[in-house]
C-alpha cells in the first residue's frame, strides 16, 4: 500500500454516517474508518454493511475499527487495530488475503516494537500502514494517550518501513508542522465530523486534499 494522503475517521458525524460516507465517496477520500465504541455490536455490523455498500466499486476504501469479526461480517476493505485488539499477525491469518490492516501506535516504543515485529522471520505479511499519535492533545478518546509531538513523528518517519498516518488533534492550522516532520498521510476526525451541511464537508475535504497535494 502506497501513501494515500487523507484518512477520515467517522465518529458520530453531524451529517450522520450514511450521508457523511456518501460525500466522502463523491469526493474520492482514499480511506474512511467507522469508529463508534458506544454502538451495540449488531447495530455496528449492520451499519458497517450499509456503509460498505456505499463504498463498493469506488475509489474509497472502507475500514472498521478494532474488530476483525466485524470486518469479516461487513466485508470491509480493512480493519484498524489498537494495542488491546487482536494482534495484526492473527488478523492477517484470519482475514482474506486481499484485506488491509492498519495498526495504532501511541509512542516511540510501540512504533519501534511494530517495526521490529515486521522484520521478524516467520511473521505474516506486514500491516499495510501504521498510525502514530496523538500528535497533539485530543478529545477523540475518553482517556486519550499523551501527545507525542512532531519531533517524535519525525523520528518514526525516518525508520518506518510502511506508510505512517499522523493522527490526533490535527486541524488545518497545524498540519503544516506535521508535514514538515515528514508526514505524508493525515487522519482527520473532528474537523470533518463537525460539518453541519454537505457543502461544508465538501469544502473541508477539498481544502485538505489541496494542502496534501501542495506538500508532495
Q: Is the pLDDT of residue 142 over 80?
A: no
Residues 6+ apart with CB under 8 A from 140: 9, 11, 134, 168, 189, 190
The span from the CA of 112 to the CA of 132, in Å, is 11
Listed residue (31, 88, 91, 36) closest to 62, CA to CA: 31
The reported pLDDT for the residue numbered 79 is 98
SS3 of residue 16 by DSSP: coil
The reported pLDDT for the residue numbered 150 is 97
- Count the neighbouring beta carbons within 10 Å of the beta carbon of residue 29: 25
Max CA pair span of the chain = 50
Q: Which domains does the chain have, with CATH numbers?
A: 6-215 (3.20.20.70)
- The residue count of the chain comes to 216
61: cell is 476504501
- CA of 62: how far to CAs of 1, 71, 173, in Å? 14, 9, 27
The reported pLDDT for the residue numbered 153 is 98
Residues in a beta bridge with 61: 31
| pLDDT band (50, 70, 90) for residue 206 | very high
Q: Is 149 left (phi over 0), alpha (psi -120 to 50) or beta?
A: left
The reported pTM is 0.95
Query: Is there a contact between 51 and 19 (Cβ–Cβ < 8 Å)?
Result: no
| pLDDT band (50, 70, 90) for residue 123 | confident
Amino acid at each position: 500500500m502506497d501513501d494515500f494522503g487523507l484518512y477520515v475517521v467517522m465518529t458520530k458525524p453531524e451529517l450522520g454516517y450514511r450521508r457523511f460516507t456518501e460525500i466522502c465517496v463523491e469526493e474520492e477520500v482514499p480511506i474512511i474508518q467507522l469508529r463508534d465504541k458506544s454502538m451495540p455490536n449488531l447495530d455496528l455490523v449492520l451499519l458497517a454493511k450499509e456503509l460498505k455498500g456505499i463504498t463498493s466499486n469506488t475509489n474509497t476504501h472502507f475500514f472498521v475499527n478494532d474488530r476483525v469479526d466485524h470486518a469479516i461480517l461487513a466485508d470491509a476493505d480493512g480493519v484498524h487495530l489498537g494495542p488491546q485488539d487482536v494482534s495484526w499477525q492473527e488478523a492477517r491469518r484470519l482475514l482474506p488475503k486481499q484485506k488491509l490492516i492498519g495498526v495504532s501506535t501511541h509512542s516511540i516504543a510501540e512504533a519501534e516494537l511494530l517495526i521490529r515485529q515486521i522484520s521478524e522471520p516467520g511473521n505474516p505479511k506486514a500491516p499495510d500502514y501504521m498510525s502514530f499519535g496523538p500528535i497533539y492533545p485530543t478529545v477523540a478518546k475518553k482517556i486519550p494517550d499523551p501527545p507525542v509531538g512532531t519531533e517524535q513523528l519525525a523520528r518514526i518517519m525516518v525508520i518506518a518501513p510502511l506508510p505512517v498516518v499522523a493522527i490526533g488533534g490535527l486541524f488545518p492550522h497545524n498540519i503544516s508542522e506535521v508535514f514538515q516532520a515528514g508526514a505524508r498521510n493525515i487522519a482527520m476526525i473532528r474537523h470533518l465530523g463537525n460539518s453541519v451541511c454537505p457543502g461544508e464537508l465538501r469544502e473541508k475535504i477539498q481544502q485538505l486534499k489541496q494542502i496534501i497535494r501542495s506538500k508532495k
